[in-house]
Structure formats: structure tokens, C-alpha cells
Amino acid sequence: MNDAQLIAAPSGRHNRYLRALARQPVDTTPVWIMRQAGRYLPEYRATRAQAGSFMDLCQNPELATEVTMQPLRRFELDAAILFSDILTIPDALGLGLHFVEGEGPRFSSPLRSVADIDRLGRIDPEQQLGYVMDAVRMIRRELNGLVPLIGFSGSPWTLACYMLGGRSDTGFKEARQLAWNEPEAMHRLLSLLSDIVIDYLAAQRAAGAQSLMVFDTWGGTLPFADYREYSLRYLAQIVEGLRKLPEPAPVTLFSKGAQAHLSAMADTGCQALGLDWTASLRESRQLVGDRVALQGNLDPNALRANPKALRNMVALTLADYGSGPGHIFNLGHGITPDIDPEQLKLVVDCVHEFGREPTLLA
Amino acid sequence: MNDAQLIAAPSGRHNRYLRALARQPVDTTPVWIMRQAGRYLPEYRATRAQAGSFMDLCQNPELATEVTMQPLRRFELDAAILFSDILTIPDALGLGLHFVEGEGPRFSSPLRSVADIDRLGRIDPEQQLGYVMDAVRMIRRELNGLVPLIGFSGSPWTLACYMLGGRSDTGFKEARQLAWNEPEAMHRLLSLLSDIVIDYLAAQRAAGAQSLMVFDTWGGTLPFADYREYSLRYLAQIVEGLRKLPEPAPVTLFSKGAQAHLSAMADTGCQALGLDWTASLRESRQLVGDRVALQGNLDPNALRANPKALRNMVALTLADYGSGPGHIFNLGHGITPDIDPEQLKLVVDCVHEFGREPTLLA
């Protein structure tokens, strides 16, 4: 079945995620979890130890396929997401991505000047990020129609924040300074990154990704007007670029902390918006109307509550969205390494149990 | 002059902050800066070195008065704010506040159980926080009518986050766990803290504070429904309690990252809302109508931009609010230690220059 036929087929685990993205009725609310392939799983930690570094794992298609599949063996998740990192593009551009334990990503050659920016150029994703495309192809074969596969990229603003030498704990002051002091150079960088993200996601689509997601982790930390100019503008270009593909895939945008921009984000023409845990699904749905599906948004901290409280919060999240199609259950941010997998199993099972009749919970 | 007479007098530096809080016309937009008495000032660092620890400085009324006055000597600021910390209340409750350089506040005896919560009781602010009231009285004498004095407290939710042993880098998981697993115990704690905050701010008012501010630093990190139940509910109780004082002072609420709750915050009956740098003053004003004044909201990172870009951002902030009374210029968060004081001087002078005719900048 191609994706259009999948969406048209009766709802089940194999297609309820794609049907919800298309705002079609589903047999129960689909659920996947940001960072579902991750350190909270002992089998992930074992594979990671076998691989070496985090980047070694990302760059090994067999092992990336293995960790992508691991959570699907434990939980009745309704989508797989490519195991990779949001910062593969800057690494392919030669910036030298690596991870400092407990401190997050770093680049060995961050951008230090406008000249550094102007030396950058387009890449060929099948060449320079071939390991990602190989993983996408291998995961699709391994999934064999069980659930759809999500491909993804970091957003231009988020990539730029890291590439300019910023660390999240300094508020990415280098990126903001460049935007304010040399806005034309920043726009050149963001424009190039948008083109590369389009190429990269188009290649993932061609390799088999059935849904595409752009993670704008840091856009929401910008002042209101700057978010529109430096983040949303380029998200819109990406959505536009991906609509022109021969077989477009649904695109989900996730800007953490950008609740105030939700309606403008829906105007990009994307198919879905991810919400962080501070948003109200009900109020968000009123804002976006029937323009987009909504993904979210249980607080990742809720997975540390006792099972009774956790079940209750899942029910409240479903009731907050209310009845009717277009809801994809997820956390409002990635699952953290300290979570007991049994707690996630409870969430997934509760979503499917309660999601059959969400109106009864309101 | 008492405060009512001050507000009624023609607008000038001595009263434009209080007039703006009362949404009365002003000769130019008033400005003060969160953490205006702070480490970015060399004279502050000298006084701090003389005092010893940060808490030694807070607890010494003469030196607290000195650092409160320092920024007013350099910049044409329109309000002074008591030099103190948002966590003095838990310290007075016996939790042992101290500061770890570069890591923020810690308690030597955090709350570890419901029994710990149930051992807590009301305090007498003039007794247990006498150093704060002495500082308020001394600063008022020292100010001698130059500008009004702002008193403040942390919000119940923010106090509870720290008291339960949380650190901001863990998302205050202890506080959320208590709220979800034992909501009644959390409500007992928050209710007690609200009573104490009311007593504390009433004592600051009686000692001479002319405006009162509640900093809800961490409320905005809560899920939407939990913000209403665990943070806003108690902010509303505080506003209500302070309205019953013989001579009420205007109350400003600041919940960082709580833009989605702005209209509900205005419903508390407070006089003003502080906005963080991600909010739009224009959209916020549409949401709150003429119920409250608005304080904010230049990005603190903007103080690292070049002077031309910085002037432009000040002008855009004023234009974003637009014409008419009710705007108090401030940053959207506290000024950081690395800022050149000359950059802050530029901001303050630009606000007063441009603020005379904000409509011309739109």
C-alpha cells in the first residue's frame, strides 16, 4: 500500500497515526513518544554501549534500526521515529558534532564569523548523510508495515543556535547577537539552512519516511517579533518546499514554548503542530480550528507520578483535546532517562483504552 | 505626600511609575530594571565583597540600602526595588538558605516529607524577617521621595519548588510529584505560604514599600491546568489579601512563561502584570484590555547588541505597547552580570526620550 491507500484503509495500528494527521476518524487515539528510543530503555543502553559514542550509534544504520525498533517491541506505539539527532546537518557541514555527557551537543568547529557562514554551501544528503537514508530504508524494511515511520530535522533557527557556538545554558547569546547586529548575515545562514533542511527531509521522504517533523527546540526562547522573523519564516519556507515534492508527506512543526504563535504556525500550511506540556489542547484547538492536527502534550514529569495519578493525567489530556479527529497523543517534550519503562507502558495502554471514547471523559 | 497624593500630582520622575501602575497619563514612560542592583555594577561587587556572602548582604540593612541606591545614582530609573531575595521566607522558616556560586539557591534543610510540611507555621515578619523591614525603612529615608520603592516576594509555587529540594535544572520534579501524588499536602503547603506571603508583603507595605511585586519564576513551567490550580489560585489569594490592607499598594504579578494565562491573571484584580521577553505587548494589551498595566519586556540579551540595534529594540518595544497610559518599561527577565552598565544607561535614556511620543514610533 502507498501512503494514500494507507490513509484510506480502515483505522488500525498500521495507519491511525497517518489518519489522525489527516484529521480522519480513528479507532483509537494514536500515540508515539518523543525520544521513545532512548536511555530509559535498558536494551537501548546495551546497544549504545556496543556502538560506542552516541554519534557512532546514529551513523550505524543496523544499530540505529535496532534502537528504533526497540520501543515498538515493548509498547503498542503507533509510529516509529528514525533514531538520529537534530544536529546531523551541521555535522555534515563539517562542524564536528559530538556530545559531552550530561551537557548536550557541542561542535568542535562552530561558526565564529560571517566569513565562516559564507563558506558554507548546500550538501547532497544521499552522499553526506547517507547513513541517515540507509537507516530510513532499513527501518522501513524492518517495520514491514507495522506502523508508519517519522523522519525529522532540527529547524534552521535551532541549528543556527548550536552552529554559532551557543550552549543552551547561555540562552544562545551568539545567535541573538548575530541576528541583531548583522541581520543580513543571519538571514543568509537561515536561508541556506532552510534549503538544506528541505533537501534533507525530501531525501528522507524518498528513502521511505512517511511523515516529517521539524523540531524547533529554541525558537520559543526568542522575543515575539524575532520568532516570526528568524524562526517561523524559515519553518514556513520548509513547509512550502516540502509541499512541492512529487509525493508530499505530512509535516509536523514543533516549536517548544511558542504557544503564542500557534495560529501563525498553522498558517504555514503544515499538517500538524506539536504542543509542549504548558499548552492547553482545548485552547490550542480553538486557535487553530480545523487547519491542523495537534500532537501532545502530557508533562514528561508526569511519568514520575504514581500509576493512579498518571492514568488520571492521561485521561485529562485526552479530555482536554475532546472528541473528534486530529489528536496524536505524545508527551510535551522528550522522555527522560530516569523513567521506568512500565510507566510508559501504562501511558500507551491508557491512551488506547481511553482514546476510544474520549468524549466520555470530558 | 502620601501615595494617593503622589499619584494625583503632575507626572515626573518621583511618581511616573505609580501613575503608570494606576494607568494615569505620564510625562514619559517609566522604566526600572529587574535586578537593577546587581553584579553587572562594579560598585555592587565591591559592596558585596565587603559584606561577605549574598545572604550577609541581604541581612545587612545598611549595605542592602547602599546597593539598592547604587543603580539610581547611575541611571534615571523611575523606581527602586528592595535589595533582597525571593527566598527569604523559607529561610525564615528554618530551611537554611544559601547560594552555591554559579548554581543558584540551595536549602540545607529542604522539605523531605509531608510531616516536614505539617511542622511549618506562620511567622511574624517584623521578628523573623526584621532585616527586610529595616532595609525598607532605611531605603525609604534614603530615597527621600526621589522615586517610589518596590517591595516583593516569591510566589507560593516558586517558594514550594525550592523548599521541596528541587533545583531548577531538574524541572522541580519533587514539587510536581507532590502535587500529583499528594495534592492535599501540596495545597496545605501552598495555602500556608500564601498566608505568609500576605503577612510579609503587608509588613513591607507598613514599613514603606509603595508597590508590591510577586515573582512567580517557575509557575510557567507547569502544565496548563496545574498552573491554574497550584500557582494562579494562590496568586489570586495574595492579591485578595493585600486589597484588604488599610492602605493597599498596587500589586504586580510576574509569572515567567505564562503568557497563555494572562487574561486569567488580570482577573485576580492585581494592578499590573509583568511580561517576559517572549510576549507581545500589543497582543497582551488586547488580552487584558484596561484591567491592568503591563510591565516589560525587552530581551535581556538585547543588552549585548550594538548600540544602534539596542536603541532600535527599545523603540520597537515602546511601539509594541503603543500609545496611551499603563506601560512600565522593563526587561523581560533580570539583567545578567556580564552586561556593560553603559548599555543599560542607553536603554534608560532611550525609554525616556522615545517614551514621550510612543505613537510616533509605531
Would you write out chain A's pLDDT as a tens digit for each of its 362 residues? 899 999 999 999 999 999 999 999 999 999 999 999 999 999 999 999 999 999 999 999 999 999 999 999 999 999 999 999 999 999 999 999 988 877 788 899 999 999 999 999 999 999 999 999 999 999 999 999 999 999 999 999 999 999 998 676 666 889 999 999 999 999 999 999 999 999 999 999 999 999 999 999 999 999 999 999 999 999 999 999 999 999 999 999 999 999 999 999 999 999 999 999 999 999 999 999 999 999 999 999 999 999 999 999 999 999 999 999 999 999 999 999 999 999 999 999 999 999 886 443 33
Provide the domain limits for residue A50.
3-361
Q: Which residues contact A308 (CB under 8 A, 6 or more apart)?
A: none
As given in the structure block, the three cell numbers for residue A355 are: 482514546
For B221, name the nearest residue in chain A, comparing CA atoms only. Answer: A278
Domain of A216, CATH number, reads 3.20.20.210
> Cell numbers of A353, please?
483504552
Residues of A in contact with B173 (CB under 8 A): 301, 304
* Domain count of the fold of chain B: 1
Say if the Cβ atoms of A260 and B277 lie within 8 Å: no
User: Tens-digit pLDDT profile for chain B (362 aa)?
Assistant: 899 999 999 999 999 999 999 999 999 999 999 999 999 999 999 999 999 999 999 999 999 999 999 999 999 999 999 999 999 999 999 999 988 877 788 899 999 999 999 999 999 999 999 999 999 999 999 999 999 999 999 999 999 999 998 676 666 889 999 999 999 999 999 999 999 999 999 999 999 999 999 999 999 999 999 999 999 999 999 999 999 999 999 999 999 999 999 999 999 999 999 999 999 999 999 999 999 999 999 999 999 999 999 999 999 999 999 999 999 999 999 999 999 999 999 999 999 999 886 443 33
Cβ-based burial of B178 (10 A; exposed 0-12, middle 13-18, buried ≥19): buried
Name which of B27, B24, B2 is nearest B12 in CA terms: B27
Are B82 and B75 in contact by the 8 Å Cβ rule? The answer is no
Q: Which of B223, B277, B320 sits opposite A277 (nearest CB)?
A: B223
Report the gap between the CA of A301 and the closest CA in chain B (Å): 7
* Cβ–Cβ gap A306/B181 under 8 Å: yes
Cis amide prior to A306 (ω within 30 degrees): no
Three-state secondary structure readout of chain A? CCHHHHHHCCCCCCCHHHHHHCCCCCCCCCECCCCCCCCCCHHHHHHHHHHCCHHHHHCCHHHHHHHHHHHHHHCCCCCEECCCCCCHHHHHHHHCEEEECCCEEEECCCCCCHHHHHCCCCCCHHHHCHHHHHHHHHHHHHHCCCCCEEEEEECHHHHHHHHCCCCHHHCCHHHHHHHHHCHHHHHHHHHHHHHHHHHHHHHHHHHCCCEEEEEECCHHHCCHHHHHHHHHHHHHHHHHHHHCCCCCCCEEEEECCCHHHHHHHHCCCCCEEECCCCCCHHHHHHHHCCCCEEEEEECHHHHHCCHHHHHHHHHHHHHHHCCCCCEEEEECCCCCCCCCHHHHHHHHHHHHHHCCCHHHHC
Q: Which ipTM was obtained for this model?
A: 0.93
Active site residue B48: yes
Distance from CA of A144 to the nearest CA of B (A): 37
The upper half-sphere exposure of residue A327, i.e. CA atoms within 13 Å in the direction of its Cβ, equals 31
Q: What one-character DSSP code corresponds to residue B78? A: S
Tens digit of each residue's pLDDT (9 = 90 or more) over A61-107: 999 999 999 999 999 999 999 999 999 999 999 999 988 877 788 89
- Of the candidates B78, B85, B134, B276, the residue annotated as catalytic is B85
Distances in Å between the alpha carbon of B260 and those of A48, A302, B254?
40, 21, 13
Closest approach of B202 to chain A, Cα-based (Å): 32
* Ramachandran sector of residue A25 (left: φ over 0; alpha: ψ -120 to 50; beta: rest): beta
Q: Are B265 and A210 in contact (CB under 8 A)?
A: no
Phi-psi region of B30 (alpha: psi -120 to 50; beta: other; left: phi over 0): beta
Residue B35 annotated to the active site:
yes
pTM of the prediction?
A: 0.95
Query: Which residues 70-129 in chain A show a CB within 8 A of chain B?
Result: none
Exposure b/e, A242-272, CB count within 10 A at least 16 = b: beeeeeebbbbbbbbbbbbbbeebbebebbb
Q: Which three cell numbers stand for residue B277?
A: 521577553
